Structure 1
Amino acid sequence: MTRREMAMANFLNGYNCSQSIVLAFKDLLPIDETTLSRMASSFGGGMGRLREVCGSVSGMFMIAGLLYGYDGPETGDVKAGHYARIQELARRFEEKHGSIVCRDMLGLSVKHDVPTPEARTQEYYKKRPCAEIIGDAAEILDEYIKENPV
């Protein structure tokens, strides 16, 4: 199963968009599945259904931080290099979807949505392109990791 397929399956099994991404890359990390899932739990629906940065993008950034990030109070080249990496991932995603913002991709006019998510029914999946968006994010990150081995 590809990472794209794993991420999409995670979403279809009820994980939020951010969890779907981080769990698709869990084998690369020295962190247990429960911790990863909890770490990403706040970022679904564009950060707690605020409809801001897409959760799949946040998930990509979390994995990039865990694989390539710095762990000190950096202010110079190390921080700039990592931020360049994050901006590159965002650029690739935006190139494919026109935005990294949840509400823009879903065509929503609300900035902050109600906190209660919709039930995951067949109708929900028909009207939401989220599974494909998540698949694209996983594919982008997978390609990036292959191009930039840890």
Structure 2
Amino acid sequence: MKDFNIEERVKKAVENFESGYNCAQSVFLAYADVFELDLETAKSMSVSFGGGMGRMREVCGTVSAMAMLAGFRYPVVDPKDQDARTRNYAIVQKMGGLFKEQFGTIICRELLPAAEAAQTNPAPSMRTAAYYSSRPCGRYVAHAAEIAGKMLKGELE
């Protein structure tokens, strides 16, 4: 696994979000190169988790991105390897718990302002200055990217 600076990756994740990537992509893409993932593949892998999975406003995409990254750091190659699966699930629960501790929930619709939370139409919102100023998602992206970085460096075990 490639070495990295967490602060730089947090900054990159926020830049990703501010450039138009969804919340899940923003976090996932900030670390994709750590595992030598092709950028286009990484974009495709993570796109569907934005907006609480396909804009259904369920689990925050940033939390889903952390879980996907945990799969690379703590893989379960053998489906019968219960220890590996337990290790993976434990780290996902730890990351989700840290996110929830900071924001009170991991559920997208509970994190968003009421007017945004109700919008589940599959068409994404236009990314404008008003869009970015009205939503707290940049904070969620930054915190999830920080948690993911600590997980990847083994600091959450």
| Aligned-pair CA distance for 1:116 | 0.6
Q: 1:84 aligns with which of 87, 90, 96?
A: 90
CA distance in 2, matches of 1:83, 1:106: 26
Q: 1:106-145 residue pairs with structure 2 within 5 A? A: 106-108=112-114, 113-145=120-152
Number of corresponding residues: 149
Tell me the alpha carbon deviations over residues 6-61 of structure 1, each in whole angstroms, 9 at most, x when there is no partner.
00000011101111011100221132000000000100000000000000111111
The yes-or-no answer on 1:5 pairing with 2:17 is: no
The answer to whether the 8 A contact 1:44-1:55 is kept is yes
Provide the alpha-carbon RMSD of the alignment.
1.8
The answer to whether the 8 A contact 2:70-2:151 is kept is no
Report the more deviating stretch, 40-49 or 21-30.
21-30
TM-score, normalised on structure 1?
A: 0.92
Q: 1:18 aligns with which of 21, 24, 36?
A: 24
TM-score, normalised on structure 2?
A: 0.88
- Consecutive unaligned residues of structure 2, counting only runs of 5 or more, are 1-6
The answer to whether the 8 A contact 1:52-1:111 is kept is no
SS of the residue 2:52 aligns to: helix
CA distance in 1, matches of 2:146, 2:20: 20
The answer to whether the 8 A contact 2:27-2:141 is kept is yes
The answer to whether the 8 A contact 1:5-1:135 is kept is yes
The answer to whether the 8 A contact 1:50-1:111 is kept is no
Report the more deviating stretch, 104-113 or 118-127.
104-113
Which amino acid counterpart does residue 52 of structure 2 have in structure 1?
Answer: G
| Aligned-pair CA distance for 1:69 | 1.6
Report the more deviating stretch, 5-14 or 140-149.
140-149
Q: 1:29-44 residue pairs with structure 2 within 5 A? A: 29-44=35-50
The answer to whether the 8 A contact 1:17-1:45 is kept is yes
Partner of 1:60: 66
| Aligned-pair CA distance for 1:111 | 6.2
Partner of 1:47: 53
CA distance in 2, matches of 1:118, 1:3: 25
- Consecutive unaligned residues of structure 1, counting only runs of 5 or more, are none
CA distance in 1, matches of 2:47, 2:22: 7
